[in-house]
Structure 1
Amino acid sequence: MVNQNYILENILTGKSVPFGPKGQPSAIAKKSVSGVLKVTKLGFVDDEQADPRHHGGPEKALHHYTRDHYQTWLSEYPDINPDVLKVGGFGENISTSGLQEKDVCIGDVFRFGSATVQVAQGRQPCWKLNVRFSFSKMAALVQKTGRTGWYYRVLEEGSVEQGDALSLIEQPNPDWNLARIQNVLYVDTLNRENLQALASLKELAENWQALVQKRLSRLEVEDWRPRLETPT
């Protein structure tokens, strides 16, 4: 089992504003907040998701992105605006150091302040990251590098504040970290054995279960372009 305790260095919320080439609403810009926040089945009470079809909901209640990735992005792509490429830039609600996709497994349960949360799925990056960072290939690069972050479902509501501990208390699927899952979804895409094993994880979010089952039934990979390419 990985190191079990991490510090909530930032907890972040955001409000919906016009965004993108057609002014679609988005709450991707998150800002760090202080004080105690209530955690419900849908996430922080003060947080918004503008597109409930693709963001938010019980299986995407809270988004976690490690602050470690920011320096890596800046080192690889120094032309990206550093005022945007900072904590909150990826729309995360939770920021810690030292916990990455290779460490986090589907179904991991964490104590989170007085709440309990469980890893439900990784993030599938979309074109809004291209607009956010003024970089047309950002979403594709996030998918390719695996620096996606992940989503929690809330098992037990409670409250949390900056500086609280994030403590791993259960890891039912230690062989299925997010890095492995990303390889199944985006690299070794039609490996039937791996897809069947992934589909068997009862803690996996329903929409990812459906994605895997659809790929198994059709034996073809879904078209990623509408998700990754900025609409014109």
Structure 2
Amino acid sequence: METIVTQIFAGSVQAMPDDGRPTGIFKQPVSGEVEIGVEGITVDAQADRRVHGGPDKAVHQFPARNYARFAAAFPPLASKLIPGSIGENLTTADWTEEDVCIGDVFAIGSVRLQLNQPRSPCWKIDARYGVDGLTRFVAEHGLAGWYFRVLEAGRCRAGDTLTLIDRQADPVSLREYWDLRATTRPDRARLQHLIDTPGLAEDKRQGWVRRLEWLEAQR
């Protein structure tokens, strides 16, 4: 399983139009080689470090195919829905949430990345595009892309191949992750399996533990 990273994006913190709140969602394509450390691309920045950035949210990949779904649901935004515009770092023509799994390890250049959680959509998506409802659409359909932690720092560039090099024996895809989240009473065995999946971000694991405990208390 491999695909080409067609573009790499990074940006600085700037003011969100209209309300002036700081944001790092505005990214630009990066040419040439980039360095990726444990906190992500060294020339990239995040405004709110409580919810973006850090070791478990070091690099954000977003499926280019998802933009077509956004455009179909929000036609007036079609011209704005282009790779890089939702704040991602990596874009590929292939792969969606159906194709990748929690704990997957990928190689690109000399970098090794591990997928550990989906992105959690926030208000900045609506603010970025100047529309109401896109953030809700992203959350309801599980189309937010995913975060990597950096297992091995290194360098890569746009045009490099992103290759899956390790996957769990019984993996949990991001689509299943979102389906479990959307189900009022998910299957407890699959929920436990997700909790036990190596590579899952610890704060997400704790959230699923609490949900499983709640479900058990309702029995």
Percent identical pairs in the alignment equals 36
Q: How does 1:195-206 map to 2 (within 5 A)?
A: 195-206=191-202
1:87-129 Cα distance to aligned partner (Å, 9 max, x none):
1111100000111100000011111111100101011111111
1:105–1:174 Cα contact (<8 Å) kept = no
What does residue 45 of structure 2 align with?
48
Tell me which of 114, 127, 146 is aligned to 1:131.
Answer: 127
1:229 — aligned with what? none
Cα separation, 1, equivalents of 2:96 and 2:9? 18
- By how many angstroms is 1:215 displaced? 1.9
Q: For residues 195 and 100 of structure 1, what CA distance do their matches in structure 2 show?
A: 22
Is the CA contact 2:33–2:155 (under 8 Å) kept in the aligned structure 1? Answer: yes
Q: TM-score, normalised by structure 1?
A: 0.87
1:178 aligns with 2:213: no
Give the residue type in structure 2 aligned to 1:36. Answer: E
What is the correspondence of 1:1-232 to structure 2 with a 5 Å cutoff? 4-19=1-16, 22-80=19-77, 82=79, 84-219=80-215
Decide whether the 8 Å contact of 1:29 with 1:89 is kept in 2.
yes
Most deviating of 122-131 and 208-217: 208-217
Q: Secondary structure at the match of 1:65?
A: strand
Kindly tell me: are residues 185 and 18 of structure 1, through their superposed partners in 2, closer, same or farther at Cα, counting changes over 3 Å?
A: same
Indicate if the aligned counterparts of 1:183 and 1:189 stay in contact, CA closer than 8 A.
no
The root-mean-square deviation of aligned C-alpha atoms, in Å, is 1.8
Gaps of 5+ in 2: none
Shift of 1:201: 1.2
Cα pair 1:123 1:151 within 8 Å, conserved: yes
Bigger shift: residues 195-204 or 97-106: 195-204
Q: Name the SS of the counterpart of 1:9 in structure 2.
A: strand
C-alpha separation in 1, matches of 2:68 and 2:15: 28
Superposition deviation, residue 21 in structure 1:
6.3
SS in 2 for 1:91: coil
* 2-structure distance, mates of 1:214, 1:22: 36
1:36-59 superposed Cα distances (whole Å, 9 cap, x missing partner): 100100110000011111000100
Residue pair 1:118, 1:154 contacting (<8 A) in 2 also: yes
Moved more, 144-153 or 22-31: 22-31
TM-score (norm: length of structure 2): 0.92
Structure that is richer in helix per residue = 2
Give the counterpart letter for 2:48 in structure 1: D
CA distance 1:194–1:113, change in 2 (3 Å)? same
> Contact 1:20/1:128 (CA < 8 Å) preserved in 2?
no
C-alpha change, 1:179 and 1:145, in structure 2 (3 Å) is same
Tell me by how many angstroms 1:159 deviates.
0.2
Matched residues in 1 for 2:183 and 2:98: separation? 16
CA shift, 1:145, in A, is: 1.5
